[in-house]
Amino acid sequence: MEREGDWQEQRRQAIAGHAAALEAGRVAEAREAAALLDEFVRRAAERRLPPQTLQARTFDGRATYRTHVRGWYLKSNRSVAVGEDGEYYVLTVPASLRARFTGAELTPSMPRLIVGAGGGDGETVPLRQLLDRRLEAGVSWP
- DSSP secondary structure string, 35-91? HHHHHHHHHHHHTT---EEEEEEETTSS-EEEEEEEEEESSTT--EEEETTS-EEE-
| Residue 126, SS3 per DSSP | strand
User: What would the pLDDT profile of 85-110 be if each residue is shown by its tens digit?
Assistant: 999 999 999 999 999 999 999 999 99
- Whether pLDDT at 46 is above 60: yes
Binned at pLDDT 50, 70 and 90, residue 16 comes out as confident
Residue 107's pLDDT is 95
Q: Find the domain containing 103 and state its range.
A: 2-140
Binned at pLDDT 50, 70 and 90, residue 118 comes out as low
Domain count, the chain: 1
pTM over 0.95: no
CA angle, corner 67, sides to 62 and 69, nearest 5? 140
pLDDT bracket for residue 122 (50, 70, 90) = low
